[in-house]
């Protein structure tokens, strides 16, 4: 190995040490977004300079949030990003969602549309496909069961009314909330959302359960398909 190669290797090693020292002092508070990505990629790209790859990611997707929201198939198109690195960034998004929701009080009470909306906005953090949840409540509006009903492609997800009816019967709830998200759309109910609401409402009649709300979440906001509270 030449002296020049050794110098480059030492410089790269020192750079990583400086980045870690910077993080140890103030966390990510003083980091630019590309620097955060650069350091995260240390753990999947141990022997290469991750700075150019981090810059490419920001240039392609716009900001850190959009990088973490990007599908794995799109991340791997970026020079320097292999399957392992793309999976790692995808997992960070999932861990963030789990952290937010697992830190909540498990005896959460949803008395109003706003209570339900705020609760569900957190639940959809980092979710990039349409996802349906069905939340069962007791007669005091406590959550007694929270069911993941299904995922779909962006812009399309089927609502399984048979599964919803089964979940309602199994937990012996009295009221329920249906929820789904619009990952790339505006926070406004569609005609299909209105039809789905009516189908679920009618199905729950057989379980003697009242559908009190259908919440749509998009871009950190929420709205109701119909005010049923």
CATH number at residue 215: 3.40.140.10
In this structure, the answer to whether residues 96 and 192 fall within a common structural domain is no
Note the pLDDT of residue 191.
Answer: 87
Cα–chain center distance at 223: 18
| Predicted local confidence at residue 2, as pLDDT | 46
- Final residue before a domain boundary, out of 100, 131, 153: 100
Residues 85 and 110 both lie in one domain: no
* Domains in the chain, number: 2
What pTM does this model have?
A: 0.64
Burial class (CB in 10 A: 0-12, 13-18, 19+), 30: exposed
Residues 94 and 129 in one domain: no
pLDDT given for residue 86 in this prediction: 95
> Of 100, 135, 159, which marks where a domain is finished?
100
CA atoms within 13 A on the CB side of 227: 2
Q: How far are the Cα atoms of 7, 8, 47 from residue 3, in angstroms, in the given order?
A: 6, 9, 18
Longest dimension (CA), the chain: 79
pLDDT score for 153:
58
One domain for residues 62 and 119: no
Domain co-membership, 39 together with 91: yes
Residues 67 and 145 in one domain: no
Task: Give per-residue pLDDT as tens, 126-136.
Answer: 788 889 999 99
One domain, residues 165 and 118: yes
Are residues 144 and 167 located together in one domain of the fold? yes
Are 146 and 81 found together in one domain?
no
Q: Do 120 and 190 belong together in one domain?
A: yes
Name the band, by pLDDT with cuts 50, 70 and 90, for residue 96: confident
3-state DSSP: the chain helix, strand, coil percent, rounded to 5?
Answer: 50, 20, 35
- For position 64, which CATH number holds? 1.10.150.20
| Res. 1 pLDDT band, cuts 50 70 90 | very low
| Exposure string for 157-172, b = 16+ CB within 10 A, e = fewer | bebebeebbebbeebe
Same domain, 89 and 187: no
Nearest CA among 96, 15, 7, 82 for reference residue 45: 82
DSSP sequence for 106-133: TT-B--SHHHHHHHHHHHTTT--S-EEE
70 conformational bin, left if phi > 0, alpha if psi -120 to 50, beta if neither:
beta
pLDDT at 229: 42
Q: Give percent of the chain with pLDDT exceeding 70.
A: 87
What is the rounded average pLDDT for all residues in the chain? 86
H or E element: which one contains 102?
Answer: helix 83-102
Residue 213's domain comprises 105-227
Note the pLDDT tens digit of each residue in 28-62.
Answer: 888 999 999 999 999 999 888 999 999 999 999 99
Burial class (CB in 10 A: 0-12, 13-18, 19+), 205: exposed
What digits encode the pLDDT tens for the residues 160-195?
889 999 999 988 899 999 999 998 778 888 888 888
Contact 168, 204 (CB under 8 A): yes
Residue ending a domain, among 65, 100, 135, is: 100
């Amino acid at each position: 190995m030449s002296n020049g190669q050794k110098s480059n290797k030492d410089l790269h090693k020192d750079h990583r040490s400086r980045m870690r020292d910077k993080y140890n002092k103030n966390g990510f508070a003083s980091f630019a977004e590309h620097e955060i990505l650069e350091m995260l990629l240390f753990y999947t790209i141990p022997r290469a300079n991750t700075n150019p790859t981090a810059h490419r990611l920001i240039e392609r997707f716009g900001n850190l949030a959009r990088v973490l929201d990007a599908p794995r198939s799109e991340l791997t198109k970026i020079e320097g990003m292999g399957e392992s690195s793309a999976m790692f960034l995808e997992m960070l998004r999932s861990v963030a969602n789990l952290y937010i929701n697992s830190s909540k009080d498990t005896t959460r009470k949803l008395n109003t549309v706003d209570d339900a909306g705020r609760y569900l906005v957190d639940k959809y953090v980092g979710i990039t496909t349409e996802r349906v949840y069905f939340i069962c409540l007791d007669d005091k509006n406590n959550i007694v069961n929270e069911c993941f009903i299904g995922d779909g492609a962006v812009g399309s997800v089927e609502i399984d009314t048979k599964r919803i009816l089964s979940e309602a019967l199994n937990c012996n709830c009295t009221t329920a909330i249906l929820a789904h998200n619009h990952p790339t759309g505006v926070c406004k109910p569609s005609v299909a959302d209105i039809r789905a609401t009516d189908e679920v409402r009618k199905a729950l009649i057989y379980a003697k359960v009242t559908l009190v709300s259908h919440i749509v979440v998009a871009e950190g906001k929420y709205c109701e398909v119909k005010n049923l509270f």
